[in-house]
């Protein structure tokens, strides 16, 4: 009986906003996502030496091409000086806090994993903002024919994780009907 009372008190004091039954899963996915993102960037910079190479073709449709994104997604709202960098970092921190509260309320493993992918990707890109001139993007998807050419924006593993997380949340809410609404 005391245990149930403790749980109610914990929930009333904000525990439900910080930790839920699937938070550990989401946290594990976030940590693995961030580590994979940062490891890929460090390898490409220091071992592969992408900064001193031109565009490197991997397949007929995918190249390595180093760019520094000083804005948000797709280079929108490029930052201007230290104040702009701090503002974008503040937005990322606020987003991670919001997503963490959502994660604490996640009703399924898919929602928790999807939120973990988004959180890990956001943290990976935030780490870049703290250490580099912007977010390191390196993957360029493109399609070229004799009469037509298409180049997608340059992206990184954090961006892929964020998109995969959003797709997971959309799948859960549209087809499974189980995603918890954002707080």
Instruction: Give me the active site residues, please.
Output: 137, 159
Q: Are strands 149-151 and 56-59 parallel, antiparallel or unpaired?
A: unpaired
Residues sharing a CB contact under 8 Å with residue 56, sequence separation 6 or more, in sequence order: 50, 63, 64, 65
Give the Cβ contact number of residue 45 at 10 Å: 16
- How is 20-52 classified by DSSP, letter by letter? -TTHHHHHHHHHHHHHHHHHHHHIIIIIS-GGG
The rounded distance, in Å, linking the Cα atoms of 25 and 68 is 31
Give the Cβ contact number of residue 47 at 10 Å: 8
**DSSP category for residue 75:** G
Helix axes 23-42 and 109-131, enclosed angle (nearest 10): 40
Q: C-alpha 151: how far from its chain's center?
A: 22
Token readout for 163 is 């998109």
């Amino acid at each position: 009986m005391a245990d149930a009372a403790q749980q109610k008190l914990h929930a009333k004091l904000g525990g439900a906003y910080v930790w839920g039954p699937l938070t550990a899963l989401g946290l594990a996915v976030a940590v693995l996502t961030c580590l994979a993102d940062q490891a890929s960037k460090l390898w490409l910079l220091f071992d592969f030496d992408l900064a001193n190479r031109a565009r490197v073709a991997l397949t007929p449709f995918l190249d390595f091409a180093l760019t520094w994104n000083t804005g948000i997604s797709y280079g929108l709202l490029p930052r201007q000086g230290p104040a702009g960098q701090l503002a974008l970092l503040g937005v990322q921190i606020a987003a991670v806090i919001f997503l963490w509260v959502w994660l604490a309320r996640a009703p399924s493993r898919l929602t928790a994993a999807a939120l973990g992918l988004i959180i890990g990707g956001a943290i990976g890109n935030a780490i870049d903002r703290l250490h580099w001139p912007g977010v390191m993007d390196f993957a360029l998807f493109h399609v070229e024919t004799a009469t037509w050419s298409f180049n997608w924006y340059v992206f990184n593993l954090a961006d892929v994780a964020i998109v995969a997380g959003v797709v997971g949340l959309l799948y859960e809410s549209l087809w499974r009907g189980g995603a918890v609404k954002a707080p």
